[in-house]
Amino acid sequence: MKNFDIVSKKKLFITIPLVILAVVIAFTLIFGAVISIEFTGGTIMTYSYAGELDFSAVKSEIETLGFGNVNVTGGSAFGADIELVNVAFSSNEGLSAGQLSEVTGRLIAAFPENNIAIENSQNVSPSTGVRFFLKCLVAFVFAFILFIIYIALRFKKLGGWSTGVFALIALLVDVMVVVSVFIFFRLPIDAIFMAVVLAIMGYSINNTIILYDRVRENKTLFAGKKSARELVNLSVRQSLTRTINTTVTTAAALLVLSIVAMIYDVNTILNFAFPMLIGLISGVYTTLCLSGTFWVMWQERRGAPAGRK
């Protein structure tokens, strides 16, 4: 491990997220993103059913009514042995009472053996969706500001505000990775997406704080005997095992949860667990490969010695 020099690979580590960003943008422009009606407005109908139900057949049956774009997902009721299917229509005005009855009647007639019954229905106006999106955006911005302030105050010896900005850049990479999972796997961008992003931000910033703590301790310990590059390489090596072990245990639980949710077709859990799993892996990458590297680049730009390579 004497030749351990993660900072020397900075071009590769910075290029990878840039490539992912370019692919995400291109994929979104070509195929678009699946935006939940929580943001766009529309109607959500929840039905209970018995036996096995082919969701693709349900989608095809409803589309023949010509009420617009429809998304069909399955799930289970918590605390009750009831299988549910959610039917979501994206529209500006929502469905009328007559249209809702027509959808229900069509499903009951098409799948008589499944005992389909309406459990709940609600219309979401576009203005409500916009307000919800703005509230989520405020939550993101507020969280970012708090993270920057906290890290700037805690790590004054490492550069204060500049250190907070580097941690923020690493967090933005994690957010981009989570977005790419939702885009590539056609998962709906909804409240679950917001929850995943905020959870990943908290997890990733914790890893970054641990790394910066190591850098600060080593800087004090060696008192100018090591360059910024050497300090970060040493700190990454010291925190590597702990960061990976912590992530592996959490990721293993999320992997099992994702598999179980996939087997039992519980999309709500799957849409949370799987992006969280990928986000955790991204958090390790940004902490070990980017956070410290950005700090070294800044120190060297300010004239600090680059250290031995």
> Taking the model in full, what pTM does it have?
0.81
**Do the Cβ atoms of 124 and 41 come closer than 8 Å?**
yes
Tokens 């289970």 correspond to 76
> For residue 309, what pLDDT is reported?
37
User: What does the CA dihedral 39, 188, 85, 279 come to, rounded to 10 degrees?
Assistant: -130
Are 41 and 129 in contact, with CB atoms under 8 Å apart? yes
Residues whose CB is less than 8 angstroms from the CB of residue 258 and which lie 6 or more positions away in sequence, other chains included: 270, 273, 274, 277
pLDDT of residue 78: 57
**pLDDT in the model for residue 122:** 85
pLDDT of residue 140: 84
Residue written as token pair 């995400």: 24
Say which residue the tokens 């702990």 belong to.
242
pLDDT for position 21: 93
Q: How far apart are CA 272 and CA 203, in angstroms?
A: 15
Determine the residue type at 300.
E
Block means of pLDDT (10 residues each) for the chain, length 309 residues?
75 94 93 82 88 87 86 69 83 80 92 90 78 83 87 84 87 93 90 90 89 90 84 90 88 93 82 94 93 88 54
pLDDT at 290: 93
Q: Which helix (H) or strand (E) holds 167?
A: helix 161-184
